[in-house]
């Protein structure tokens, strides 16, 4: 379905007077299974830390990116098919394929931008010791797999749970999900629990 979405975008006729995105790029592709397993083995295994002091506002998110577009709007344009936006960068048309549950969403208000590694999960695995600027970079990271447009229902189902407690309902996405999760944790030097490693290895076995 990822390839289909890209094809749909590529074939879209741009609406007159509206800003429109180029072909959908989706999050950058994470390392393959072999490299991911190597990176997973290098992560520090430790129990999750305390949630004391956590607040989402400690991770400034949806920062300005380009022109009038903030991070959320940028991901909506990047991940959608046939997306057009107005001069405030608000989508006026488009559809989004939610890889977590394998459904198409046509109303951007029903699309959530998921932090693949949730902010709360990052906090309890190392981010509590970061500077605010590093937490902001993490919450708005377009260079890794950290941000992805998914259905609101799948994002609400996930919450701030790690892979030992939640996996995408679409099992065909487990390989990519595990590769993305590991790469984000590896990039930011976050810890993993023993149960988390087991769950990630199970998903990587589907690659």
Main-chain dihedrals φ then ψ at residue 44, nearest 5 degrees: -75, 125
pLDDT category at 101 given cuts 50, 70, 90 is very high
pLDDT at residue number 26:
76
What pLDDT, in 10s, does the model give residues 144-157? 999 999 999 999 99
pLDDT at residue number 14:
27
CA atoms within 13 A on the CB side of 97: 18
What pLDDT, in 10s, does the model give residues 116-163? 999 999 999 999 999 999 999 999 999 999 999 999 999 999 999 999
Query: What pTM was computed for the model?
Result: 0.87
Percent of the chain beyond pLDDT 70?
Answer: 88
What pLDDT, in 10s, does the model give residues 9-35? 333 322 223 343 333 457 899 999 999
Whole-number average pLDDT of the chain: 89
Question: For 138, left (φ over 0), alpha (ψ -120 to 50), or beta?
Answer: alpha
């Amino acid at each position: 379905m990822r390839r289909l979405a890209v094809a749909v975008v590529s074939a879209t006729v741009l609406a007159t007077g509206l800003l429109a995105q180029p072909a959908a790029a989706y999050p950058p592709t994470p390392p393959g299974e072999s490299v991911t397993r190597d990176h997973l083995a290098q992560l520090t295994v430790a129990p999750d830390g305390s949630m004391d002091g956590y607040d989402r506002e400690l991770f400034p998110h949806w920062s300005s990116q380009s022109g009038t577009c903030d991070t959320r709007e940028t991901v909506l344009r990047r991940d959608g098919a046939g997306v057009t936006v107005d001069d405030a960068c608000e989508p006026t048309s488009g559809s989004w394929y939610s890889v977590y549950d394998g459904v198409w969403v046509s109303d951007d208000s029903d699309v959530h931008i998921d932090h693949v590694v949730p902010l709360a999960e990052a906090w309890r695995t190392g981010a509590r010791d970061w500077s605010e600027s590093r937490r902001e970079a993490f919450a708005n990271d377009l260079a890794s797999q950290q941000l992805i447009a998914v259905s609101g229902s799948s994002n609400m189902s996930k919450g701030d749970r790690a892979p030992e407690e939640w996996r995408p309902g679409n099992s065909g996405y487990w390989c990519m999900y595990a590769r993305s999760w590991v790469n984000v944790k590896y990039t930011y030097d976050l810890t993993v629990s023993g149960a988390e490693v087991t769950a990630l290895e199970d998903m990587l076995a589907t690659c």
